[in-house]
Structure formats: structure tokens, C-alpha cells
Amino acid sequence: NPLTLGGTVYYAFRHNGYTNLYAKMLGVSQPVRLTAGPWDDRDPAISPDGKRLAFASHRGGSWNIYALDLTNGQTVQLTTGLDFKANPAWSPDGQYLVFELYRNDNLDIALISATGGDLIPITSNRAADYEPTWSPQGREIVWVSLRSGNPDLWHMSLDTPDESAYTALTNTPLVQEADPAFSPNGALIAYYDAASPYGQIWTIEAAPPETL
């Protein structure tokens, strides 16, 4: 029974016209509100050490990535500018974040240090790239891409950060892959089918086909 394991779920909740972040400890009846204000916060992602919560916020008039220190309540803005940024995911060592970046009329994937600084683009294909996730081993990133004309999972190794080396993990015209997530040991990737009326969940080997 997962409810006996403890832990905390972080989520976004919309109320009175605004979306803010909350934490719900399993076994505790009342959630704790983490952000409040006349703006929208979304996409919470807890750091590997459980001390920081990265999220996307429109509080400055444009969508940027922020981090909330859960030990002292301090919020730090990690990105700046008018370009849309969302869906952050932590590297396993907590040193970097990967996220969606919309600029120049295109949705791409980029990295940034967990302390802020310059963005590091990792995709530039004219097709949309979004919903990135980081492998538990720390050297691979998987995301959803429309490069084939349909949502599919794509893979990159940080040991070969060359877009010509990125590979497709799926090629499924009848399935619309969404929200990929690695298993704890990094061997599998779970995702759901956005085209399914039942929200079907699938899993696939995390290694690119040519390495299996």
C-alpha cells in the first residue's frame, strides 16, 4: 500500500482564478500551501535531496523557472526574459535543471544550472520538443518530440551532445506519447497515451534500440 510509505506529493491547484503550489504529506489530512499571489505557478519538481522545489511561474509577467527553498521559504528566480519556460526536471545530482523553452517560434529543450546563469540549449530542431525527463544515472535525457510528425519519445546522451546523434525511442503513429518518466533503476520509461480515451500507460526499454 503506497499510502503507508510516507512521503510528500507536490502539485499545482487552481482556485479563484490563480494557480499556486501545494504540498500534501501522505497520512496528513490537510495540504500545505507553498505559494500564494495573483499569478500562476505550475509544474512543481522536487530536488533529489528534497530541499528545493523548482517550478514555472508567471509572477513576473512572463513564464520563467524559479526554485523554492523548502528549508527557509526563500524563492529564487533562475531564468529571466520573455521567452516561455516550463516543465523543469532535476539532474540526479541536483546541479542542473532541464526544461522546455519556447523562443524564435519554436519549442525546444534547454539546461540551466540549479543556481541560475546562462541557458544551454540542447535541441534546435524546428519540430516541437517538450516534456523532458532526466535518467537516474544522470547522463541521459528523454523527451517528447514531433520530429516524426507525431508525438514520440526521443533520447540523448550528455556524453554526445550533438543533435545529429539523438535517437527516437518510439515510432508509433497511433500512440501519442506524453509525460515520460524513468523507473528508479533507469531501465524503463513509463509514459501515457494522450490519444487514448482511457489514458493508457505504457513502458519501454530506456536504452536506444541500437544499444539493446
Q: What is the pLDDT of residues 173-203, one digit of tens each?
A: 999 999 999 999 999 999 999 999 998 999 9
Alpha-carbon distance of 82 to 79, in angstroms, equals: 10
Q: Residue 140 has which C-alpha cell? A: 541521459
Q: What pLDDT shows up at residue 6?
A: 76
In this predicted model, what pLDDT tens digit does every residue of 61-120 receive, in sequence order? Answer: 999 999 999 999 999 999 999 999 999 999 999 999 999 999 999 999 999 999 999 999
Q: Give the model's pLDDT for residue 3.
A: 61
18: Cβ–Cβ under 8 A, 6 or more apart, which residues?
A: 37, 38, 39, 40
Q: Residue 43: enclosing H or E segment and its boundaries?
A: strand 41-46
Rounded CA separation 135/91 (Å): 8
Q: How far is CA 141 from CA 27, 60, 133, in A?
A: 33, 29, 6
